[in-house]
Every structure is written in structure tokens, then in C-alpha cells.
Amino acid sequence: MMKILDLVVGPLQVNCYVVYDEKSSEAAIVDPGDDVIGILRLLEEKSLTPKLIVCTHGHFDHVGGVREVKAETGASIVLHGDDLGIYEKAQEQAAAWGFSVERPPSPDIIVAEGDQVRIGDCEMVVMHTPGHSPGSICLLHRDILFSGDTVFAGSIGRTDFSGGSLQAMKLSFRRIIGLPGETRLFPGHGPTSTVAKERETNFFVHEL
Ligand SMILES: [Zn+2]
Ligand SMILES: [Zn+2]
């Protein structure tokens, strides 16, 4: 069974999820944007074996801690190929916002739509959901969706950054609200939600 721990990290308050398979204790760290000490402490407290560092996209607030987490754990970095350019410029992006992050090392696993990544017995399917960035992904495991900066509770990620697209966001959003209503959303910022709740309350439903 998949367990999910949430840490809010960095100045832009990213949800970093430490996700693990209860049986094998293998873990994935989704979006280690900052607070590497907190992430490592959590891994140690739960005696987890970190296998994957999953980046839902390449923005600096989601990848700022990748270099250090990789150095400390040796876990494999997962990224969609279409966000490689943005990911490689994380340092420059951060500087433009007045922050500083370490340049993330090259990803180990480049994923695309339909690929699966696995921790122990828990496999997560990659959904390519461009719009906020060209290589944004969501990860689906049964009724759990890590929705990155694509869908938040009540809203969506900005589409006006470099590589963003409102048209692509519409398609990605439609796919997500087309998932079963009981699907639980774990977004990149803010509180959790469900697909059913977003169909009812998300403002973007009216923009499609
Ligand atoms: Zn973002
Ligand atoms: Zn973000």
C-alpha cells in the first residue's frame, strides 16, 4: 500500500511528497524543492529506502533540492523530456525571482506519456499534462494523483511562463477531471482535493 507524507518546502511553499510502499519501504521523493534536511530526516525517521526523485516539472521551486537529495540518497531523478530545457535553467529561473538554488544534475530517467515508475509494489503511471510547462507530468497510482502545478484545489497552474500554453492546459485539465471522481489529488501547492470536488468547484471548468 502506498503511503504519502507531505512537507511544505521553500519560499513558494511547494508540497514535497515523500511517497513510499509500506511493504518494501522503498520511497519516491516528489518535487524536493527545498528543505533537504527535513526530507532526509523524514526518510530516516521512517527507515525508508529512497529510489526515485520525481520532478513533476522543471521549475526551480520544485527542483531546488534535487542536487542535494541525489547526492545524499543516490536515488534516480525522473523528468519528462520536454521540461529538460527549463530544468537545466533552474538556477537562472531562481535568480530571476531573487532566490538561489543549486543547479540540478542531469535526470537519470526521462519519461513520457504512459511510462511507469515503481517503488516496491507500487507503480505510478506517468500522464503527460503540458500547459503549465511543456513537460509537466502527473503521476497516477490507483486513486492517487500527484498533479504537480497542473491542477490545484479550485484552480490551475499559471500558463504564462516560458513554454506554458492555455490550449494545452485545457486538454490536460479535461483529462484530469475525466478520471474517476474518487481520485484524490495531491497538488504541487496548497491543499489536497478530489476529482469530484474539482469538477464542482474548479473555476477552470467554465473556461473549457
Ligand atoms: Zn511550476
Ligand atoms: Zn510550483
**pLDDT at site 131:** 98
What is the mean pLDDT, run by run of 10 residues, along the chain of 208 residues? Answer: 97 97 98 98 98 98 98 98 98 96 97 98 98 98 98 98 97 98 98 98 96
Find the CATH number of the domain harbouring 139: 3.60.15.10
**pLDDT at site 160:** 97
**pLDDT at site 188:** 98
* DSSP state letters, the chain: -EEEEEEEETTTTEEEEEEEETTT-EEEEE---S-HHHHHHHHHHTT-EEEEEE-SS--HHHHTTHHHHHHHH-PEEEEEGGGHHHHHTHHHHHHHTT---PPPPPPSEEE-TT-EEEETTEEEEEEE--SSSTT-EEEEETTEEEEETTEETTEE--S-STT--HHHHHHHHHHHHTS-TTPEEEESSS--EEHHHHHHH-GGGGG-
Nearest ligand, CA 188: 2
**pLDDT at site 96:** 95
**pLDDT at site 181:** 98
The alpha carbon of 98 and the centre of ligand 1 are apart by a number of angstroms equal to: 16
The alpha carbon of 89 and the centre of ligand 1 are apart by a number of angstroms equal to: 13
The alpha carbon of 185 and the centre of ligand 1 are apart by a number of angstroms equal to: 16
Its domain, for residue 191, covers: 2-207
pTM of the model: 0.98
**pLDDT at site 150:** 98
Instruction: Give me the number of domains the chain comprises.
Output: 1
The alpha carbon of 63 and the centre of ligand 2 are apart by a number of angstroms equal to: 10
**pLDDT at site 27:** 98
